[in-house]
Amino acid sequence: MKIKDAIPPLHQEGYIFVICAAAFSLLAGAAVPTVGWIGAFITIFIACFFRDPHRITPEGDDLVVSPADGTVDKIEEALAPEELEDGKTSYKRVSIFLSVFNVHVNRIPIAGTITDLHYRKGAFLNAAHDKASIDNERQTCVVKTKSGEQVVFVQIAGWIARRIICYLNEKQTVTTGERFGIIRFGSRVDIYLPKNAEINVVEGQTMVGGETVIAQLKPKKAKTTKK
């Protein structure tokens, strides 16, 4: 294996940060070597933060994969984000907390068509707290699957994360595991699943974005007509 094959590529959003940090390290290091070494360490950290490793996504139209790396913080029933028209609909919510050491590139949890997008300004509470799902700044995305189910996934800012980036557009067709955005420097991602979905993860479990199967959607029961 070549060395370059073992180093994950850098996400496009990270180039400007790495270049600026590297330039600072070189300039500062020429005057004060100690500061230069500190700058070099920071440059490496930033490069690691914006790493964008290749992922192998499981196949299956009914499989829901994790939209982010991190740790499952909580699994519970919850109402859809209030900015959606179905704000009174109850879902199974899986919350994933991302530390500054996790990969922050976000991926589509299940194939389908993007039907709704909402960006909401808010607070910057610690993303590990439950209130972050309600109070923090967030980007809400809704995908309608091939079977007609609705899955909601939300990028949530944290007290360090101050920038949510989402490349999606309404009516866009997406595939499972496809990259759709990034959150800078510590955050949270919530995914809202239909109540009949079979959850395959537990609280405290480590997620690999685009690979770990969070749940399996069950087909809707066909309505029967009385004769």
The domains of the chain, with CATH numbers, are 3-49 (no CATH), 63-216 (2.70.70)
Q: Is the pLDDT of residue 22 over 50?
A: yes
Residue with tokens 């850098």: 10
187: number of Cβ within 10 Å: 31
Cβ(156)–Cβ(190) under 8 Å? yes
Catalytic residue among 25, 95, 133, 187: 187
Q: What is the pLDDT of residues 35-59, one digit of tens each?
A: 888 888 888 887 877 888 899 999 9
Q: What is the pLDDT of residues 117-164, one digit of tens each?
A: 999 887 666 666 666 677 678 899 999 999 899 999 999 887 665 578
> Is 187 among the residues known to form the active site?
yes
Written as one string, the DSSP assignment of 106-122 is EE-SS-EEEEEEEEE--
Q: Going by C-beta distance under 8 Å and a sequence separation of 6 or more, which residues neighbour residue 138?
A: 81, 119, 120, 122, 154, 155, 156, 157, 164
Q: Going by C-beta distance under 8 Å and a sequence separation of 6 or more, which residues neighbour residue 223?
A: none
Tokens of 202: 């537990």
